Amino acid sequence: MIGPSVTHSTFVIERNYPATPQRVFGAFSDPIKKRRWFAEGEGLAIKEFEMDFRVGGLERSSFRLENGMICTNNTIYQDILPDRRIVFAYTMSINGNRISSSQATTEFLPATNGTNLIFTEQAAFFEGADGPQIRKEGWRQILNQLEKEIVRQVENANA
């Protein structure tokens, strides 16, 4: 397939948590807490999770996906302002092929009802690095999702 080898994308997620910025920040800086929300709970086997939370420090996590492929995140912390901001850059790889490289900024803003968390990821997705197997897997997922969506629409139409 001939096409651009990189797709750029930025997305923003905003959340409010009824907890102080110190506490929300603590869930990012404490490896035991971070592992719980970041790595556990996806139902995937965690192969490794280690982090060194300081500017220039590295974090590495890898998971075995349902299809047997290994997904690895390699992170470097770029900027840390305690209780206020964490900036990190990370690559995601599948079976050793990098599929994306991102910069992610997490801001912790004090609010009357706790903390507003603003997560901004600026990502470069490498289309050319996916390999036919991963592309096929991606398509299988798209088609499965479409199938579900179609079934849902048909059910709604018949309801």
Q: Which of 47, 54, 84, 136 binds other proteins (CB under 8 A)?
A: 136
Q: How far is the C-alpha of 9 from the C-alpha of 124, rounded, in Å?
A: 7
Q: Binding of other proteins at residue 67 (CB under 8 A)? A: no
Q: According to the 3-state scheme, what is the secondary structure of the chain?
A: CCCCCEEEEEEEEEEEECCCHHHHHHHHHCHHHHHHHHHCCCCCEEEEEEECCCCCCEEEEEEECCCCCEEEEEEEEEEEECCCEEEEEEEEEECCEEEEEEEEEEEEEEECCEEEEEEEEEEEEECCCCHHHHHHHHHHHHHHHHHHHHHHHHHHHHC
Q: Among the candidate windows 48-56, 78-86, 126-134, which touches other proteins by CB under 8 A?
A: 126-134
Q: Which of 42, 50, 52, 79 binds other proteins (CB under 8 A)?
A: 42
Q: Binding of other proteins at residue 9 (CB under 8 A)? A: yes
Q: How far is the C-alpha of 84 from the C-alpha of 61, rounded, in Å?
A: 24
Q: Binding of other proteins at residue 37 (CB under 8 A)? A: yes
Q: Binding of other proteins at residue 100 (CB under 8 A)? A: yes
Q: Binding of other proteins at residue 23 (CB under 8 A)? A: yes
Q: Which is nearer to other proteins, 56 or 130 (CB)?
A: 130
Q: Which is nearer to other proteins, 27 or 70 (CB)?
A: 27
What residues make contact with other proteins under the rule CB under 8 A? 1, 3, 7, 9, 11, 13, 15, 17-19, 23-24, 26-27, 33, 36-38, 40-42, 92, 99-100, 117, 119, 121, 123, 125, 127, 130, 132, 135-136, 138-143, 146-147, 149-150, 153
